[in-house]
Amino acid sequence: MINVELSNIWSCVSLPDLLGREKALFDAHLRLRANRENERPFLGWLGQSDTLTARTLHAVRKAAEQIRGSGSICVVVGSGGAWLAAQAALGLLRACCPDAGDGQTRLIFAGSDLSAQAWLALCNRLDGKDFCLHIISPHGDELEPAIASRAIRWMMERRYGADSKRRIFLSTSAGSPLAAMAQDGGYTLLPLPTERGGDYSALTSAVLLPLAVAGYEPLDMLEGAAGAWREYDLRAFENPVWLYAGARHALEARGRQCEALCTFDPAFSGLLRWWKQLLLRRTCRGGAGLLPMPMELPGEQDALDAALGTGKRPVFETMLRVSAPALRRINVEMDWKDYDGLGYLSGRTLEEVERAGFEALCAAQAERDVPIAVLELEQVDAYHLGELFYFLELSSAICALADGVDPFTPVTFPAREDAARALGKTEETEA
């Protein structure tokens, strides 16, 4: 279970204030369960049948076997929440438990931008290599991944001819344009549940397939999420989800409008990007909701300190940490000449150094009146990653509903539509 530490928020929020959020949190959690039973859109992640899980696992494992047997590279094209979740999950597992994967097939993530330079670089990386294509697109009409997938499919057809169809895999919703393309082209289709939406697709084939291709067991991640579903269904403050959601809700009510999503571990950088998008797209509506700011520490701490200065700012921090027993066994080496002046650290463990840095940060932020909520994981592996994804999805949804924000209404992107029309899209092409 994820540990939620709130000792560094009491200067801004009192315990009675937090406990006073109980009814709002209870009602929000109850709405989630009721909406799921009524098959409300985007709530499929609250639980799924064993049959669906078994079917998904079989399809994922079969597709992964095909990819691993067909090429040394798999290009993962996408741009939304599911694509970001796949990138985040793979980055975390490769950094924290590399021995669990095998590195047989290299994965390249692309299609999230319109950079010609990035496209040329990708072409150079694929030159002379055998590769496969995995497209992640819940709706199938997103501009950036659509352009990238067209270009890569054209490249594959020139190189492999009719054989290219067995190298193309699509994670998309049933009934989407990509689903129709998969049927017409003979590509492998891994349907995304239509009741989830891209932002809540961290536990679907879109993420499980890249992990399986990299040699990780997808069932572990699903079991972690299933365990979290049982653990975090409790509607009381003994539930860590309630503690974190309640703290966010109370801090926002106290005028803290910005949430700095912080970590000392660069392996979490991809997760912070996914987390930011989830919060921006699903909890920030109509001027309500907290504005997320991902920050990697200690590198970005100076910038944050400069922004905060000595005056009060409407910000608090959420710190993501890992209780890593391995750090207890790694000592700072001794250097007799002590050129760097760090001789006082000789013999200390990395855990002690990291802990001291964290405590110093908490003390400094307390002086600046910056509250810090801490989320601490026991360890990072596929099982605990599934738990973490579920925790963050559930806590964000409960906090949004307690705020009066419905996170499950469709998201519109007027800027993208305007860009498409500027490029020649008309009502006829939309039809």
pLDDT computed for residue 326 by the predictor:
57
Q: Kindly indicate the confidence band of residue 281, based on its pLDDT and cuts at 50, 70 and 90.
A: confident
Q: For residue 333, how many C-alpha atoms fall within 13 Å in the half-sphere facing its CB?
A: 4
pLDDT at 182 > cutoff 80: yes
Q: Which fold has domain 44-216?
A: Rossmann fold (3.40.50)
Residues 157, 180: Cα–Cα separation, whole Å: 18
pLDDT at 414 > cutoff 60: no
Q: Kindly indicate the confidence band of residue 97, based on its pLDDT and cuts at 50, 70 and 90.
A: confident
Query: Residues with Cβ < 8 Å from 325, sequence gap 6 or more?
Result: 379
Q: Kindly indicate the confidence band of residue 409, based on its pLDDT and cuts at 50, 70 and 90.
A: confident
pLDDT computed for residue 319 by the predictor:
94
Helix (H) or strand (E) segment spanning residue 131: strand 131-136
Task: Read off the pLDDT of each residue in 262-286 and give the average, rounded to a whole number.
Answer: 88
- In CATH terms, are 3-36+224-402 and 44-216 the same topology? yes
- Strands 168-173 and 188-192 come out as parallel
Residues 249, 289: Cα–Cα separation, whole Å: 9
* Segment of 29-38, 60-69, 224-233, 357-366 carrying the highest mean pLDDT: 60-69
Q: Kindly indicate the confidence band of residue 203, based on its pLDDT and cuts at 50, 70 and 90.
A: confident
The larger pLDDT score, comparing residue 344 to residue 24, is at 24
Comparing C-alpha atoms, which of 177, 186, 224, 96 is closest to residue 429?
177
Task: Read off the pLDDT of each residue in 369-386 and give the average, rounded to a whole number.
Answer: 92
Q: Kindly indicate the confidence band of residue 429, based on its pLDDT and cuts at 50, 70 and 90.
A: low
Residues 133, 187: Cα–Cα separation, whole Å: 10
Task: Read off the pLDDT of each residue in 221-245 and give the average, rounded to a whole number.
Answer: 89
pLDDT at 287 > cutoff 90: no
Is residue 75 within 8 Å of 152, Cβ to Cβ? yes
Residues 187, 171: Cα–Cα separation, whole Å: 11
Q: What is the pTM of this model?
A: 0.89
Give residue limits of the domains in the chain.
3-36+224-402, 44-216
- Strands 131-136 and 188-192 come out as unpaired
The larger pLDDT score, comparing residue 154 to residue 197, is at 154
What CATH number should be reported for the domain whose range is 3-36+224-402? Answer: 3.40.50.10490
* Segment of 39-53, 134-148, 407-421 carrying the highest mean pLDDT: 134-148
Digit-coded pLDDT (tens) for 4-50: 999 999 989 999 999 999 999 999 888 887 765 545 544 555 665 55
pLDDT at 324 > cutoff 70: no
pLDDT computed for residue 273 by the predictor:
94
Tokens for 318? Answer: 């959420």
pLDDT computed for residue 388 by the predictor:
95
pLDDT computed for residue 361 by the predictor:
83
pLDDT computed for residue 431 by the predictor:
45
Residues 54, 337: Cα–Cα separation, whole Å: 60
pLDDT computed for residue 50 by the predictor:
53
pLDDT at 129 > cutoff 70: yes
Is residue 243 within 8 Å of 1, Cβ to Cβ? no
Is residue 350 within 8 Å of 330, Cβ to Cβ? yes
Comparing C-alpha atoms, which of 164, 190, 200, 172 is closest to residue 62?
190
Least confident of 4-18, 64-78, 201-215, 299-313: 299-313
Percent of the chain whose pLDDT exceeds 70: 88
Task: Give the mean pLDDT of the chain.
Answer: 84
Tokens for 279? Answer: 């919060």
In DSSP terms, which residues pair with 110 in a beta bridge?
77
pLDDT at 168 > cutoff 50: yes
The larger pLDDT score, comparing residue 25 to residue 305, is at 25
Residues 111, 118: Cα–Cα separation, whole Å: 9
State residue 350 phi and psi, 5-degree precision. -60, -30
Tokens for 389? Answer: 């994804």
Q: Helix (H, G, I), strand (E, B), or coil: what is residue 386?
A: helix
Q: Helix (H, G, I), strand (E, B), or coil: what is residue 270?
A: helix
The larger pLDDT score, comparing residue 32 to residue 59, is at 59
pLDDT computed for residue 63 by the predictor:
95
The larger pLDDT score, comparing residue 235 to residue 42, is at 235
Tokens for 97? Answer: 């438990």
Residues 173, 168: Cα–Cα separation, whole Å: 16
Is residue 67 within 8 Å of 213, Cβ to Cβ? yes
pLDDT at 196 > cutoff 80: no
pLDDT at 349 > cutoff 90: no
C-alpha angle 92-96-99 in degrees, rounded to nearest 5 = 115
